Amino acid sequence: MSDTHRAGLLRHPALVEHESCRVPRARKNRVADKITAFAGSMAFVYLHLLWFAAWIIFRIEAVSVRSAHDDRVVGGDLSCRRS
């Protein structure tokens, strides 16, 4: 199997050349490749969709902490209030 047909996919010759110039399997390159592969995957998209849906549904920003001496909401309230 040639370098341009790894894993059954046709790879652009410029990418093959770029990979040959990189430090072969250096630790930082392996880590960067794994992060990039995950960030470019649909699993990453689905994870963020679930996170934002939970954020909206459960109103995570509305979770408030009240001070013992103050009845105003501390943090999390993004609406404007009248004085």
Indicate if the alpha-carbon torsion angle 39, 42, 45, 49 is positive or negative. negative
For 18-73, the pLDDT digits (tens) are 877 876 678 888 898 899 999 999 999 999 999 999 888 887 665 555 555 555 55
Domain extent, residue 24, equals 3-40
Residue 45, pLDDT score? 97
Residue 19: helix, strand or coil by DSSP?
Answer: helix
pTM for the structure as a whole: 0.46
Inside any domain, residue 59: no
Give a yes or no: residue 11 inside a domain: yes
Residue 13 lies inside a defined structural domain of this protein: yes
pLDDT at 15 (0 to 100): 83
* Residue 64 domain-assigned (yes or no): no
What total number of domains does the chain contain?
1
Is residue 58 one of the residues assigned to a domain?
no
What whole-number distance in Å separates Cα of residue 50 and Cα of residue 59? 13
